[in-house]
A and B are shown apart, each in its own frame.
Chain A
Amino acid sequence: MSEPIIELRNVGVAFNAQLRMGAPQFWALEDVNLVLPRGARMGVVGRNGAGKSTLLRVIAGILAPDRGRVRREGVSCQLLSLALGFVPYLSGRDNAILSGLMLGLRRREIERRLPAILDFSELGDFFEQPVSSYSTGMFMRLGFSVAMQVEPDVLLIDEVLSVGDTEFQKKSGDALRERIHNGTTVVFVSHMDAPIKQVCDCAVWIEHGRSVMQGPVDEVLAAYHAAAPAVAEAAQ
């Protein structure tokens, strides 16, 4: 196995339930251990509310752990976020630049990629129109095309593998799978088995905010199903 680039040791994260004084805390993550090797494609499995999305945001560095340790080997991590920071009254072009800047690209890098974004999103003349005039499908196409321009060391994906209408779903899914299989390190959260099997080579199983098991994807899925037959069946 190649060198670990991110390591979580006994990580816990607590939230306040409400915005008032003395509100009770709840631990979304209790005790998570995880080693992410360079180039790994790791799936995160677990039931609804197990803490999968919280875990993803800890790995992204957005959430700081309240206990335990996170070790990160100077790598950039980015949550795949569609239409991040989009402003309705701005043109597709301006939104692409704005969103790209927020995702960590330099201005000239985005400018250089604008033709690719325009091409992939299939927006044509609408690229210069305000995004408030877009259909939902057009909006998602632009959002996806921009998000795909960011090339972090570790790509974090929460459920979304493709967007848009049937045709664009295939195109966006293909583009993302190509990115994933191109050696990028990936952490992928899903409550479904099929996409995890398709995308990942290893997996971690989270239950009630605790990491139960980490290993090859087949073994982890098998153990997960054996432990929670009813839930696991629904996922299949």
Chain B
Amino acid sequence: MRLHWLELILFSTYAELRAERARSYLGFLWWIIEPAMNMATYYLVFAVVLKTGQPDYVPFLLVGLTFWQWFKSGVSHGGLSIWQQLALIRQVKLPLQVFPSVQILADTVKFAFILALLLVILWAYGYKPNVTYLALIPVLLVELVFTAAVAYLVGAMMPFVPDLRFVIEQVLQVVMFLSGVVFSLDSMPPEMRRWFELNPIVELIDSARDILMYARWPDWFALGRVTLISLAFFALGAYLIQRYTPRYVKLPT
């Protein structure tokens, strides 16, 4: 990739965050308040009202939601980005991977705030920092690549089937419940759980919980497999965007 496009991605990310901050009274405080409210909702429903009685449920839920929301917002924003920029790409020649990348980076900056908040909450709960925190680096990197991969794939299809935007939020909602974010997958029979573990998000959230709650190193073999899947999908998504670029330009307004 040429340095020039990297400059464009970084400055666009800054512009995106800055414009978003300017669009409300509380500005970037919303980056924390909004997900915190979302977490509070799940906490109220599942911990207080439904009394999901599993030990450590609150940290279990918070870690799951934090890592899930990063993926979810990256996919829903990144997935829309090329479709939203169709007018622009009729005017100028750009590598279109720029647009989902900007959205994902902007969501990553916001995620950084929430991750910091999560760590503070966990420490307050008595889950102390430990040496396995080092493994957070690969886990975060792999989740970033996987998020970008799914966003690229959705983003590549969206201009052809803009109707997808009505479906994507619902699909993500279902995937969330199937990814062990709110309910532990441990309660299901092992042969069924094996199928669920094919979902990279399950593996990533499991790793995050191992590290943050139990001071355990993640399952490196499983993480390696997820890395390969993520890289393959990422390459496929980038290729599809490249390949369909001449067709996006011709889509009716």
Tell me the A residues contacting B by CB distance below 8 Å.
Answer: 13-19, 57, 60-64, 78-79, 81, 84-85, 87-90, 94, 97-98, 101-104, 106-107, 130
- Return the chain A residue nearest B19 by Cβ: A89
Q: Provide the main secondary structure of the chain A interface.
A: loop
- Return the chain B residue nearest A103 by Cβ: B92
Q: Could you count the A-B residue pairs with CB atoms below 8 Å apart for me: how many are there?
A: 70
10 CB-based A-B contacts, threshold 8 Å = A18-B252, A63-B250, A84-B88, A89-B22, A98-B12, A98-B15, A101-B4, A104-B4, A106-B7, A130-B22
Using known A-B contacts A15-B250, A64-B246, determine if residue A101 contacts B93 with beta carbons closer than 8 Å.
Answer: no
- Return the chain B residue nearest A20 by Cβ: B252
Of the candidates B8, B11, B18, B249, which one forms a contact with A62 in the assembled complex, judged by CB atoms under 8 Å apart? B249
Of the candidates A14, A62, A104, A106, which one forms a contact with B90 in the assembled complex, judged by CB atoms under 8 Å apart? A62
- Cα distance, A57 to B92, chains bound together (Å): 9
Q: Are A17 and B252 in contact (CB under 8 A)?
A: yes
Is B187 on the interface with A (CB-CB < 8 A)? no
Q: Are B93 and A97 in contact (CB under 8 A)?
A: no
Of listed A14, A102, A130, residue having the most chain B CB within 10 A: A102
Q: Are B90 and A107 in contact (CB under 8 A)?
A: no
Is B224 on the interface with A (CB-CB < 8 A)? no
Of listed B7, B22, B91, B251, residue having the most chain A CB within 10 A: B91
Is B94 on the interface with A (CB-CB < 8 A)? yes
Q: Are A85 and B88 in contact (CB under 8 A)?
A: yes
Tell me the B residues contacting A by CB distance below 8 Å.
Answer: 3-4, 7-8, 11-12, 15, 18-19, 22-23, 88-94, 162, 246, 249-252
Of listed B12, B88, B93, B249, residue having the most chain A CB within 10 A: B93
Q: Are A102 and B94 in contact (CB under 8 A)?
A: yes
Q: Are B11 and A101 in contact (CB under 8 A)?
A: yes
For the complex formed, measure the closest distance between the CB of A101 and the CB atoms of chain B, giving whole angstroms.
4
- Cα distance, A63 to B88, chains bound together (Å): 13
For the complex formed, measure the closest distance between the CB of A69 and the CB atoms of chain B, giving whole angstroms.
15
Q: Are A84 and B91 in contact (CB under 8 A)?
A: yes
For the complex formed, measure the closest distance between the CB of A190 and the CB atoms of chain B, giving whole angstroms.
18
Q: Are B251 and A16 in contact (CB under 8 A)?
A: yes
- Cα distance, A15 to B249, chains bound together (Å): 10
Q: Are B19 and A16 in contact (CB under 8 A)?
A: no
Contacts of B19 in A (CB 8 A): 87-90
Contacts of A61 in B (CB 8 A): 93
- Cα distance, A181 to B92, chains bound together (Å): 24
Of the candidates B3, B8, B23, B162, which one forms a contact with A102 in the assembled complex, judged by CB atoms under 8 Å apart? B8
Question: Which 9 pairs between the two chains have the least Cβ-Cβ distance?
Answer: A89-B19, A89-B22, A64-B246, A101-B8, A81-B91, A107-B7, A87-B19, A15-B250, A98-B15
- Cα distance, A183 to B7, chains bound together (Å): 30
